[in-house]
Amino acid sequence: MTATITTTQLLEFIAKAQKISPDVKVGEGDNGYDIAIYADWDADDNFYTQSIFISHKGESSNFHEMSFEIDYLFRVEEERENKHKKRQELLSRLSDEEKELLGVS
């Protein structure tokens, strides 16, 4: 099914894609735009590229499916960042002796 994409949806999609991906490319063709995203799509450190096509009319057959995947990976990345931040906060409360006993730095 082909869906029409709003500007806001597209901007949110690209912003989230850039958050989860080291490489997001947008290219213009004769009939529309290709967006290629190099990411860890399976959340298992297996990076590969997936792409979508958006016509000049703003239509795409797989935009919403990929958008759901981007949303999921975005949430996973936020959780990782939150866990890392909490770990750093906890470590900052420990004395050097406690860190040494726990084997952390």
Q: Give the helix/strand (H/E) hosting 45.
A: none
**C-alpha distances in angstroms, 42 versus 47, 50, 70?**
8, 12, 11
Looking at per-residue confidence, does 66 or 43 come out higher? 66
pLDDT band (50, 70, 90) for residue 1: low
**pLDDT at res. 104:** 83
Residue 22 amino acid letter: P
Position 105 pLDDT exceeds 80 = no
Q: Are 57 and 1 in contact (CB under 8 A)?
A: no
Residues 85-102 pLDDT 10s? 999 999 899 888 888 888
Q: Is the dihedral of CA 63, 66, 68, 73 positive or negative?
A: negative
**pLDDT at res. 85:** 96
**pLDDT at res. 103:** 86
Chain centre to alpha carbon of residue 38? 10
**pLDDT at res. 51:** 92
For residues 17 and 23, what is the distance between their CA atoms, to the nearest angstrom? 9
